[in-house]
Amino acid sequence: MRFRKWSIKQSCIAACFLAPSAIGFSVFYFIPFVMGVYYSFTNGTSEGSFVGFANYQDLLASDSFRKAAINTALFTSVSVPITVVISLFIALLLNQNIYLRNWLRTAYVLPLVVPVASVVLIWQILFDWNGALNSWLSSIGLERVDWMKSEWARVVLSVVYAWKNIGYNVILFLAGLQGIPKDYYETAELEGAGVYHQFTRITLVYLTPTTFFVALMALVSSFRIFRETYLIAGDYPHDSIYMLQHYMNNMFLSLDVQKLTSAATLMVACMLIIVSGMFALERRISSFTE
C-alpha cells in the first residue's frame, strides 16, 4: 500500500514537470497541425465547406509544387547517404590514435554552436559571383561560375548541408564505436580476420542502431535546409534548389492556406512513411544479427 502511494506521488511529480512541455507542444505544434490538416479538406479557413481531396488534386496539378517535391526528394536521396558515409569515415579516423585527434573532434563540433545566419554570410562571400572562389578560379585562368544561379546551386546546398550536419553525426558514430568491446577485434585478429572483415562483420553490425539513428536525424535535417537556402539564395532561388519549404513559404505569403496546409500534410505523411519504413528495416536487420 505504501509503495502504491509512493508510486502515485512520483507519477504526479513527473506529470507536473512534463505538463509545461506538453502544453507548449500542444499549443504551438500539435493543435496547429491538426487544424492545418482540417483546413486542407476545406475551401476556406472561416465558414469553409468540406471539399474532400479537391485541394490535394489542385496541389498535385501545380507545376511549382511538383518541381519543389522532386527537388526535395532528389536532394534528400543524394545528400543524406553521402553525409552519413562521410560522417562514418571521419568517425573511424577520429576513433584511432591520430595526431591532433582532440582538436579535430572540437573542429567538427563547431558548426553546431555557430549561428547559422553568421555562417551563411561566409558562404555567400565564398560562392558569390565576385566571391573568393571565383577570384581564385580567375587567378588560375579559369572562367567564373555563377554558383547560385546555375545547376551548381544544388552542389553548393549539399556542401552547406554536409558541413552543418557532419559534426553531429560524427559524435553519434564515435559514441557507437566506443561502445563496441575491444575483445571482439582482438579475437578476430587472432582468427586471422582482416580489416575488411572486421569492419563488415563487427563494426557495421554493432553500429546498426547508431547508423539508423544518424540516418533518421540526417533525414529530418534535410527537410530543414530551407533556412540555409533562404539566407543564401532568397525567396525565389534557382530552380534546382526550389524546395517544398520555399513553396509553402510562398503560399503563406500569398495567404493560400489550402495549398499551404495540403503541402504540409503531404510532406508530413511522406516523412512518416519513410521513418516507419526505416524503423521496420532496422528491426529486421537487428533480428538477423541477434
pTM of the predicted model over 0.85 = no
- From first to last of its 290 residues, what are the pLDDT tens digits of the chain? 565 666 777 778 878 888 888 898 888 888 888 888 888 888 877 777 888 888 888 888 888 899 988 988 899 899 999 999 999 988 888 887 766 666 666 666 666 677 766 777 777 778 877 778 888 888 888 888 888 788 888 888 888 888 888 888 888 898 888 888 888 887 888 877 777 888 888 888 888 888 888 998 888 888 877 777 777 777 778 888 888 888 888 888 888 888 888 888 988 888 888 888 888 887 887 766 55
Give me the architecture of the 59-289 domain, per CATH. Answer: Orthogonal Bundle (1.10)
Contact present, 182 and 198 (Cβ < 8 Å): no
Contact present, 167 and 86 (Cβ < 8 Å): no
What phi, psi does 78 have (nearest 5°)?
A: -100, -50
Q: How many CA atoms lie within 13 A of 59 on its CB side?
A: 25
241 DSSP 8-state letter: G
Tell me the C-alpha distance between 189 and 209, whole Å: 25
C-alpha cell at 104: 579535430
pLDDT given at position 5: 66
Residues for the chain: how many in total?
290
Contact present, 231 and 163 (Cβ < 8 Å): no
pLDDT given at position 100: 61
pLDDT given at position 85: 92
Distances (CA, A) of 33 to 26, 27, 221, 254, 265: 9, 10, 19, 19, 8
pLDDT given at position 82: 92
Distances (CA, A) of 77 to 80, 90, 266: 6, 21, 18
